[in-house]
Structure 1
Amino acid sequence: MAKTQDKVIISCAVTGSVHTPTMSEFLPVTPDQIVEQSLEAAEAGAAILHLHARDPRDGRPTADPEAFDRFVPRIKAATDAVINITTGGSTRMTVEERLAYPLRAKPEMCSLNMGSMNFSIHPAARKVSHWKHEWEKPYVEGMEDLIFRNTFRDIKHILKVLGDDCGTRFEFECYDVGHLYNLAHFVDEGLIKGPLFIQSIYGILGGLGPDPENLVMMRTTADRLFGRDNYRFSILGAGRHQMPLLTMGAVMGGNVRVGLEDSLYLGKGQLARSCAEQVRKIRRILEELSLEVATPDEARAMLGLKGKHAVAF
C-alpha cells in the first residue's frame, strides 16, 4: 500500500542578503517591515520564518546582534511560527560574525550551508542604471570575486557550538549534489542525527542550475545516501524558477520555500508586494494538488525541534 504523503512545510525567507533595495521597493529592510512581512507570511501559512538582518538606514545586510534584536523577539511574541536564523549571512561576513546572533539567541532552527562555493548575482548589476544607495552597485558587482566560506572545519564547529551546545537543529542548504555528500560525511561521523531537513537549492550562479532533471537527481541522491524515511526534502527555486520547481518538488513529496530572499517576483514581470503573496500563491497550488499545509507545531514535530519555549530571546 502506498505511503500517505506528509503535510507540506512552507518556509518563508523574508529578506536575505542578496537582493538590494533598488531591485524592489517591497524588499523589507527596517525592523518594522521585517516584522510586518514575517507575521503576514505566517498568517498566510508559513510554518518556518527564515530571517536575516538589514541596516535600516540603507538596507545593507548586517550580522549585528543588535539589529536582529530589533525584530526577532517581536516576531516570536506575535506568532507560533518557527524562527530560523541564518548562519550564512553574506559572502562578506566571517564565520564569527555569522554566528554572533545565533549563539546569543539559541533558536529552534538555523540554516547551514553545506560547503564553500562561488555564490553570485553579479550579472544582475547590468540591468540597473540608477541605484538608491552607494553601497549597492559595488556590493552586487563585487560578488564576482568572492566566495561563500563553509569549510569542513567550519561546519563541524557550527554543529558543535550551535547544534550540540544550544539544541538548535538545521536547515541543511545544499546547492549542489556534492553538498549532499558533505552532509552524508557528517552523518557518517556521528555529528548529525536525524531527522534531517534538506533544503535543495536551484538557480544560484555557482550552484546547480534550475533544470527539472537536477531536482530529480538531488532527490534520488538523497534517497540513496540517507533513505527516504530519514530526511525531509525541501525545494528552493531562485528567481523565476521559484513556483515551477516548488510545484514539481511538492508532487515528489517535498516541502517548499518562498520569500523575497529567493525571488522578488510573484509572476512574470510582476514584483511580489510581500512575502505573504508568495506564501498564498504556493499554498493555493499545494491545495489544488490535494496537499495539506503543516502548522508550525506539526513542523516542529516533523523536524524534531526543541520548541519555542527553549530559545533565548
Structure 2
Amino acid sequence: MASTSDKVIISCAVTGSVHTPTMSEYLPLTPDEIAEQAIAAAEAGAAILHLHARDPRDGRPSSDPAVFDQFVPRIRDATDAVINITTGGSTRMTLEERLAYPLQAKPEMCSLNMGSMNFSIHPAARRVSEWKYDWEQAHVEGMEDLIFRNTFRDIKHILKVLGEDCGTRFEFECYDLGHLYNLAHFVDEGLIQGPLFIQSIYGILGGMGPDPENLVTMRSTADRLFGRDGYRFSILGAGRHQMRLLTMGAVMGGNVRVGLEDSLYLGKGQLAKTCAEQVQKIRRILEELSLEIATPDEARATLGLKGRHAVGF
C-alpha cells in the first residue's frame, strides 16, 4: 500500500471564469449547479474542490461573497473535500474583489497565480456564430487586450492577509517557468513555508504550451529549486490536452486537476456533462496504472492544511 504522500491527489475545478455559457450547456452557472457538480465530483474521488462563483442570472464571473455563500457552505456540509477558493477570479476583477470572499471564508486552501501574465482564449470567439448572452462575446474577444495582474507586491499581500493571518495554504498556479522562480523568491524571503503544492499549467495562450517536454522541464526545475521532498507537483492540461498530460504527470509522480474550468470535454468531440465524469475518467486511468487515490484527509495531511474545523464558513 502506498504511503499517504505517494497517493495521487485529484483536484476538480468546477466552473472557473474563462468558459462562457454558449461554449457548453453543461457548464455550471447557478449556485445549485455549482454545488451539485462539486458534490458529485467529491463523491467520484476529488479530494480538493477549486471554486469560482458566477452571476446566476447570466453566468458571468462574480466575486460577490453573497453568491459564494449560496453554494460553499452547502458543499462543506455534503462532503469532506478540501474547499479551495480562487484568488484569481477573472482578469477584469480588482485585487480587492478577488480577495473579498477568501478573506471572509478563511478556507483551508486558495489558489494563487505566481505572476502577471497575458491570459486569453480570444481565438475561441471565431468558432462561435451566435452567443447565448450579450456579455459573452465582448468578454472572450476582450481578453486579447487584457492581462492577469499579480505583481510581487500583490502576491506578498495575499501571502500576508490569507496565509499568515488566516492560516490558509495555497495551490501555487505556475503557468510558466518563471513562475517557479517567483515562488522560489518568496520561499527565500521566508514568506512561504513548505510543503508547497505547485499546480503546473499547460495549454493556456500566454503561458506554457502543452508540449510534454515542458512538463519535464517544470518538474526538473522544481526539483532544483525546492528539492523533490519539498513540494507536491500537480498537473493541469487545458482543453484537449487534459487527460494525456495528466496521465504523463501522474506517471512522473504528480497529482492531477480536472474540471469544466480547465476543459469542457470528456473526449474528442464529446462534451463532458459533469465534472464528475472527468474525475471518474482520470481516476480509472490512474487506478489502471496501479496508482492509489488520496482521500481528502490524506490530502490535508500531505499538504499541511489547517483542517475543516478552522475555516470561517
Alignment TM-score > 0.5, same fold: yes
Structure 2 residue aligned with 1:61: 61
Residues in 2 aligned to 1:234 and 1:75: alpha-carbon distance in whole angstroms: 23
Residues in 2 aligned to 1:106 and 1:73: alpha-carbon distance in whole angstroms: 13
Read off the aligned partner of 1:199 and give its amino acid letter. Q
Q: CA 1:79–1:117 in 2, change beyond 3 Å: closer, same or farther?
A: same
Matching of residues 245-264 of structure 1 within 5 Å: 245-264=245-264
Are 2:175 and 1:175 aligned?
yes
Structure 1 residue aligned with 2:41: 41
Structure 2 residue aligned with 1:210: 210
Task: Give SS of 1:207's match.
Answer: coil
Matching of residues 214-225 of structure 1 within 5 Å: 214-225=214-225
How far did 1:4 drift?
A: 10
Structure 2 residue aligned with 1:76: 76
Residues in 1 aligned to 2:35 and 2:162: alpha-carbon distance in whole angstroms: 24
Matching of residues 44-193 of structure 1 within 5 Å: 44-193=44-193
Contact kept? 1:14, 1:34, Cα under 8 Å? yes
Structure 1 residue aligned with 2:269: 269
Structure 2 residue aligned with 1:244: 244
Residues in 2 aligned to 1:118 and 1:65: alpha-carbon distance in whole angstroms: 27
Task: Give SS of 1:298's match.
Answer: helix
Read off the aligned partner of 2:209 and give its amino acid letter. G
- Runs of 4+ deviating beyond 2 Å: none
Residues in 2 aligned to 1:68 and 1:301: alpha-carbon distance in whole angstroms: 26
How far did 1:5 drift?
A: 7.2
Read off the aligned partner of 1:70 and give its amino acid letter. Q
Residues in 1 aligned to 2:178 and 2:230: alpha-carbon distance in whole angstroms: 19
Read off the aligned partner of 1:90 and give its amino acid letter. S
Are 2:18 and 1:18 aligned?
yes
State the identity as a percent: 87
How far did 1:19 drift?
A: 0.1
Task: Give SS of 1:249's match.
Answer: helix
Contact kept? 2:5, 2:302, Cα under 8 Å? no
Read off the aligned partner of 1:69 and give its amino acid letter. D
Show CA shifts across 1:251-290 (max 9, x none).
0000000000000000000000000000000000000000
Q: CA 1:285–1:21 in 2, change beyond 3 Å: closer, same or farther?
A: same
TM-score, normalised to structure 2, is: 0.99
Contact kept? 2:4, 2:298, Cα under 8 Å? no
Q: CA 1:4–1:14 in 2, change beyond 3 Å: closer, same or farther?
A: closer
Residues in 2 aligned to 1:153 and 1:221: alpha-carbon distance in whole angstroms: 24
Residues in 2 aligned to 1:17 and 1:33: alpha-carbon distance in whole angstroms: 15
How far did 1:145 drift?
A: 0.2
Contact kept? 2:168, 2:306, Cα under 8 Å? yes
Contact kept? 1:9, 1:47, Cα under 8 Å? yes
Structure 2 residue aligned with 1:195: 195
Residues in 1 aligned to 2:104 and 2:28: alpha-carbon distance in whole angstroms: 23
Contact kept? 2:47, 2:295, Cα under 8 Å? yes
Task: Give SS of 1:84's match.
Answer: strand
Read off the aligned partner of 1:249 and give its amino acid letter. G
Provide the alpha-carbon RMSD of the alignment: 0.9
Contact kept? 1:5, 1:253, Cα under 8 Å? no
Structure 1 unaligned blocks of 5 or more: none
Task: Give SS of 2:294's match.
Answer: coil
Residues in 1 aligned to 2:235 and 2:95: alpha-carbon distance in whole angstroms: 25
Read off the aligned partner of 1:134 and give its amino acid letter. D
Residues in 1 aligned to 2:281 and 2:196: alpha-carbon distance in whole angstroms: 26
Structure 2 residue aligned with 1:296: 296
Show CA shifts across 1:196-227 (max 9, x none).
00000000000000000000000000000000
Residues in 2 aligned to 1:4 and 1:45: alpha-carbon distance in whole angstroms: 15
